[in-house]
Amino acid sequence: MNHSRHRARPVLALTTTSFLLAALAVPAFAAPVPGTDVLYTLDADFDNGVSQDVNHDAPNNNQLQLNRSTVFFPYVNVAASARGTMVRIDVNTGQIVGEWASAPDGRGRNPSRTTVDKFGSTWLSNRNEGAGGRGSVTRIGVIQGGTRVDSDGTANPAGDYLKGPFAYNKCVDRDQDGLIATSRGLGDVRPWTNAGGADDNGGVTTAADECVINYARVTGSNTRTVAVDAQNRLWTGGQDLDHELLDADGQATGTQFNVGCGGYGGLIDKAGTLWSARNFGTLRYDPVAGTHACLDGTHGDYGLGMDPVTGEIWHTNFSGNRVAKLAPDGTLLGAFGHGSQNAQGVAVDNDGNVWVAHSLNGATTVGHLRTDGTYVGNVPLPGGVGPTGVAIDSNGKVWVTNISTNNAQRIDPDAGPVGGGGHTVGAVDMTVDLGAGAGPYNYSDMTGSVLGEITAPQGTWSVVQDGGTNGRPWGTVTWNTEAQGAVPPGTSIVVEARTSDTEAGLAGQSFTPVSNGVTFAKTGRYIEVRATLTANAAGDSPVLSDLRIKTSERTGVFSCQATALNLAGIVSTRANPQDVPCVDDHETLANVQLNAGILTVRATALDARTDQTPDDLTGTAPATTDLATGRARIEQTRVTSGLLTIEIGVIESNASVTCVAGTGGLVPQFAGSSTIASLKINGLSVTVGSAPLTIPLVIGSLRLNSTTTTATSVVQQAVVVDTLLTDVVIGEAKANVEAKPGHPGGSPCRV
């Protein structure tokens, strides 16, 4: 017996790791990581996040790289065409995890194809929508984990809502209540009222289910083709042969064309070429070159599948017991029998097996052949009639949808009798009832196997970090500071972030790209950072060695002080005596007399004040309104020493440091000034104002309006009497910046 399912897969990096949560080293619920400055660099650090198609396996520990083969999500997404819904089945358990309407009330439904995007959400096409010559497509988000609750958050296994933390979530909390309202399973289809025609032309504003994330009207009427490319964009096609491209957000890109063929089932191949089947020939369209061909019926006319190893295309003919194998350039390489006169869907697994659905015309089998054309045998479908679509799941098993018996069945390729070439034929090992009236008419990439293993050789790692307080400003994400970090030519690492004051609210926010080590402005208690690693055409993987997420915590603080009078170290009326950090303080004194050495100083109405804006620098990002100030004011002052009398009117001294725009960001700017209203020396008036002035005295000197500025400080002294034995400073203000420990050269104006 030849079991060939374990053949080596195409290499993208160094190991193979399934996305299935049970196989991950991370817990099923990746709880938020607490902290305002967290470095992720060791295996245990990366395990605090959620990985899709990336690993840190030996011998390449303590770093992330792409899996050798990307592995897709553990679901099969079935278009219950006749019921106008989509049903999502867990491929491991057979449990139906949800059911969703395919379009708003009053719009055409009858979905016939589904395809999975690279983040696990499912696009479907509505075959009955053609109003105004336009069709429609809908995307259903994927969510894993969470707890079922009622609207108030109370746990209830039958609750209408899911409450985080979530292992993974692409649904959107549209009402920002911190919960996700979504289907519980089969038959639980939430309303999509389309009140007043609000969603007629696109949008999901009236959809009660928050996993319905996109509804778009497209140029291809009675849409059938849906195929996702490596950029997560959606290619659509309709019965009128119009094809159109939607971007990753589901918005039209202005790319629309009609070349007179295609419009049925479709896929994107390894080179990014669009294949679209059936009408007036199969379309092969190269979006880079802008070239196309309409292949005739000898190449096939119905289902399309792709060999994940070779990139060759397999194309069924509806009648004639014929499935064609095509080179990626469209050349016919051969045609082979598959065990039935009729066929629709076709899928190729990673182990050289081709699976053919034997169509809705009363068939009860799925054909099995090898990629070399060897016919292995037919798989009986006990309880299954009218197989239309086949797809490969994340375990390598085959799913088939049966339109006449309203069910889906799973085939184990390693079961059943031995057939042609010594290979096992396969046998059904699970049947899932889709309920009355399902009519699952779909043949497409309903598991994501084509995109997941072939078209999009990329993976993601994401983590949620809890800053502890609402409104927390986040400042930088820095990555690949270690030597093993690498981005080979043609590969990329794209890092994005989003924030919210609730964990569940993150899903309602859009990711925006951040630059390595460059300050950005996002606020919220929680931040989610996602790193997307993309391989080049040769299969080289980038390496994420480390990633650090920090809040906008400043690298320094302001300091400030104001002193009304200081006689030989005897201080009167000082604001913020500790100096560091700057705080709001105000000290006053009606009058004072101080004596030291040969000097006596009398002063009235002493006032010292310090101020900082904002009052608390913690948790706020630097801004041009940030500053620290010191001010000292004395109404009247009299200094005497023997035969010398100095009489001074109002003295005011000011010092400030302000964050201003500079090279590379905000920088501190220092300023100092003082004024002296009047001055008499032994009764003789001296004009002073605010300009610096030094006056010789018998006992020393009198210095006025002195400003001393350094790279980190400014000191303003209004009056200094300098003698050999004793000094007096009247009206001193200081403003400084001080670096925090571990941040040499740090500043409150920088993070």
Nearest-10 Cα torsion for 587, 589, 592, 597: 0
pLDDT for residue 169:
85
Kindly give the pairing relationship between strand 458-466 and strand 33-34: parallel
Cα 85 from Cα 111, distance rounded (Å): 7
Query: Is it the case that residue 2 has pLDDT exceeding 60?
Result: no
Give the single-character DSSP code of 451: I
Element (H, E) at 603: strand 599-613
pLDDT at 74 over 60: yes
CB 700 within 8 A of CB 722: yes
- Looking only at the bridges linking them, the beta strands covering 37-40 and 547-551 are antiparallel
Give the model's pLDDT for residue 416: 98
Q: Are 79 and 124 in contact (CB under 8 A)?
A: yes
Number of C-beta neighbours around residue 172 at 10 A: 20
Q: Is the pLDDT of residue 184 over 60?
A: yes
pLDDT in tens, 285-333: 999 999 999 999 999 999 999 999 999 999 999 999 999 999 999 999 9
- H or E, element range at 181: strand 179-181
As a whole number, mean pLDDT of residues 474-484 equals 95
CA quadruple 332, 336, 338, 340: dihedral, nearest 10:
100
Q: What is the pLDDT of residue 70?
A: 55
The whole-number pLDDT of residue 69 equals 59
Q: Is the pLDDT of residue 395 over 50?
A: yes
Average pLDDT in the chain = 92
Where residue 589 falls (left for φ over 0; alpha for ψ -120 to 50; beta otherwise) is beta
User: Does residue 536 register a pLDDT over 60?
Assistant: yes
pLDDT band (50, 70, 90) for residue 19: very low
Report pTM.
0.64
Q: What pLDDT is stored for residue 456 in this prediction?
A: 40
Indicate whether 266 pLDDT > 60: yes
Arithmetic mean of pLDDT, 257-275: 94
Q: How far apart are CA 254 and CA 273, in angstroms?
A: 18
Contact (Cβ atoms closer than 8 angstroms) between residue 313 and residue 306? yes
Using pLDDT thresholds of 50, 70 and 90, give the confidence band for residue 119. confident
Higher-pLDDT residue of 69 and 615 is 615
pLDDT (average), residues 624-642: 97
In contact, 464 and 33? CB cutoff 8 Å: yes
123: which residues sit within 8 A by CB, 6+ positions away? 114, 115, 116, 117, 137, 138, 139, 214, 226, 228, 234
d(CA 552, CA 550): 7
Strand (E) or helix (H) holding 44:
helix 43-46
